[in-house]
Amino acid sequence: MELIIRPTSADVAVTAADVLAEHVRRGATLGLATGSTPVATYQELIRRYDAGELSFALCRAFLLDEYVGLPRDHEQSYYRTIRREFTEHIDIPDARVQSPDGTDPNPTAAADRYETAIVEAGGIDIQLLGVGTNGHIGFNEPGSSLASHTRLKTLHPQTVADNARFFDSADEVPIHVLTQGLGTIRNARHLLLLATGEGKADAVRRLVEGPVAAFCPASVLQLHEFATVIVDEAAASDLQYKEYYRFAETKKPQWQGWGGWNLA
Ligand code: GLP
């Protein structure tokens, strides 16, 4: 795992955009995440698109997850959120931005269709991830199988509480979701997890330095041969090996194409 510590959340966004831009230039299939953490990264990518530095015309995108039961045009559906925050502002064709269908009366069939669509597209080149305060990625709550695929899940009350800020009240947050599984996420060729703020420090410590365990779904990154984790100082504050990660970054061998990842 490559661990990069940046001073602020704004710096995290710039470094994350650098990593993503390398994939975008190759016309990659992008795995996109919602939540507040990646928003600054999306803004940085939009800025580069506006400046004529980057085109997404050859890319396609798959979302990580979706609420069950929210109409697609609901402002908090992830279908709408990713368009509002990111893809409406760049040149990726809208039909090439896919997400699980949370409106299907048969969520299990919708989940299976989504998993198949990802495979048929040739898989995901780079999967962007945030992390929940309880260590979830996508909507894979603690206890999720490390081998799971896209499926129906019930949210933990903590996740409902965390996400209530986007709704008028906690009662409006759907408790059922469709999410890529941890096995689906592991199939992506490159994982890029971002975490900012002190509230994520415990989750970051557990995912980077804790045991691989279904109880901390983000720890599945330890099983991936090409995972990059970018955090700000606040989110890094509980890491035991913080100084080593900093040292290793300053000593990155320059001959590696991406700037020194994948030394694990
Ligand atoms: C939601 C999303 C996750 C996201 C998490 C953290 O549960 N399904 O993909 O990582 O929230 O969100 P935030 O970045 O707002 O802290």
Tracing tokens 């965390």 back to the chain, one arrives at 162
User: Which segments of the chain does DSSP mark as H helices, in order?
Assistant: 9-24, 39-50, 78-85, 107-120, 157-163, 182-187, 201-209, 233-236, 242-250
Mean pLDDT on 85-104: 98
Six-digit token pair at 246? 């900093």
Separation CA 30–CA 196 (nearest Å): 21
- Counting atoms of ligand 1 from 1, which one is nearest the CA of 139? 8
Q: Would the CA dihedral through 73, 77, 79, 83 be positive or negative?
A: positive
Measured by CA distance, the residue closest to atom 10 of ligand 1 is 130
Compute the average pLDDT of residues 69-83: 96
Residue 132 Cα to ligand 1 midpoint, Å, equals: 5
- Report the nearest atom of ligand 1 relative to the CA of 37: 14
| 62, 78, 136: residue to mutate for ligand 1 pocket, most atoms within 8 A of CB | 136
Q: Bridge-partner residues for 31, per DSSP?
A: 62, 127
- HSE toward the beta carbon, residue 16, CA cutoff 13 A: 35
Query: Which atom from ligand 1 is nearest to the alpha carbon of 199?
Result: 16
Predicted confidence (pLDDT) at residue 256 exceeds the cutoff of 80: no
Rg for the chain (alpha carbons), in Å?
17
Inter-residue long-range contacts of 256-260, CB under 8 Å, 24+ positions, other chains counted: 258/19, 258/22, 260/2
Ligand 1 pocket at CB < 6 A? 33-37, 64-65, 130-132, 138-139, 159, 163
Tens-place pLDDT, residues 120-145:
999 999 999 999 999 999 999 999 99
Residue 263 has pLDDT above 70, yes or no: no
Give the mutation target among 163, 182, 229 for probing the ligand 1 site: most ligand atoms within 8 A of CB: 163
CB distance 252 to 241 below 8 Å: no
Atom of ligand 1 nearest to the CA of 155: 7
Residue 255 Cα, ligand 1 centroid: separation in angstroms? 35
The percentage of the chain sitting over the pLDDT mark of 70, rounded to a whole number, equals 95
CB 167 within 8 Å of CB 76: yes
Determine which residue's CA is closest to atom 5 belonging to ligand 1: 132
- Summarised one tens digit per residue, pLDDT across range 5-49 is 999 999 999 999 999 999 999 999 999 999 999 999 999 999 999
Sheet holding 65-67, edge to edge: 65-67, 176-179, 151-154
The whole-number pLDDT of residue 117 equals: 98
> Using CA positions, which residue lies closest to atom 11 of ligand 1?
35
